[in-house]
Amino acid sequence: MRAHAFALPIVLVLVVVVGLMSAIMLERQSAQRHTTQRQLGWYQEHHARLGLQEAIEAWIKALPSSLDLGTVLPPDGHFLDLKLRGGNLAVVSLLERQNAVLIDLAAVGTVSFDDAAAVIQACDAVFGPDGPPDGYRSVGPVALSAHTASPELIEVAAQAITQDAAIAKAFASSLIADREANGGRSSANAIGYAIADASAEPDIRSRLSRMFTVRPTLYYATVELRSSTVGPAAARYGGYFVISNRSSSDRTAFLTWENIGVE
């Protein structure tokens, strides 16, 4: 009887130990399974993202070298729907983004560096911590787009360069008037006209012509993966790219490309 009484606790201890070991093994298996699933999901997402980037890049390279991409983009940027294997859609939107102010000046040449830095300081002083209505960017050319930069930013940038409020106001007013007269897109000579209307000195003229452009090359691509044309997107990718206006075998280059999440 005493032997049976002694054996019962041993059995209970063994049951508890076996139960704990089983629980630990199951937990490890579950963790390994989740880790494998995460790695597989990352692998699939990574290659899907790169595949879409390559598809867009190949399509852009096929465009005529003389085409100004901004002239064919709709206002909302929705430009292309790609039918994917399995029936899903990749909804592609392209927006010109050279209206935002470049804040990473590491690659800016010495000729434009001081003016670019002055524009950043002026934006900080005028617009505060929220920044200009056009926003900031860390990639692309330093020049601002005459087509899409806001009137407020154009005047602030022009004053940062000229240090003359009257010249800056005249320059901005002329540039905006030209844009409005041409259906929302500046004419080929809009910057030259605006410089002349502002009666700027020769040195100021060259600096303004470097800071503003009517041939922007920086765009932002957004891709939404959808199971249908309606309903929320399952995934969203986006990135900045530069497109050259010259004939070349390498007419475009993505500067960034990442998973930007769904809204």
pLDDT digits (tens, 9 = 90+) for 43-53: 444 445 667 77
Instruction: Kindly tell me the sign of the dihedral angle through the C-alpha atoms of 85, 90, 94, 97.
Output: negative
- Report for 15-24, 89-98, 243-252: range of highest mean pLDDT: 89-98
Residues 108 and 206 in one domain: yes
Q: Distances from the Cα of 170 to the Cαs of 29, 31, 162, 166, in angstroms?
A: 71, 66, 12, 6
The pLDDT of 37-61, averaged and rounded, is: 60
Residues 105 and 209 in one domain: yes
Residues 38 and 110 in one domain: no
- Residue 175: count other Cβ atoms within 10 Å of its Cβ: 28
State the pLDDT at residue 41: 40
State the pLDDT at residue 165: 95
Residues 12 and 140 in one domain: no
Asked which of 173, 197, 213 is the last residue of a domain, the reply is: 213
Residues 173 and 127 in one domain: yes
State the pLDDT at residue 120: 97
The parent domain of residue 232 ranges over: 1-98+217-263
CB 115 within 8 A of CB 211: yes
Residues 111 and 206 in one domain: yes
Number of domains in the chain: 2
- Residue 60: count other Cβ atoms within 10 Å of its Cβ: 18
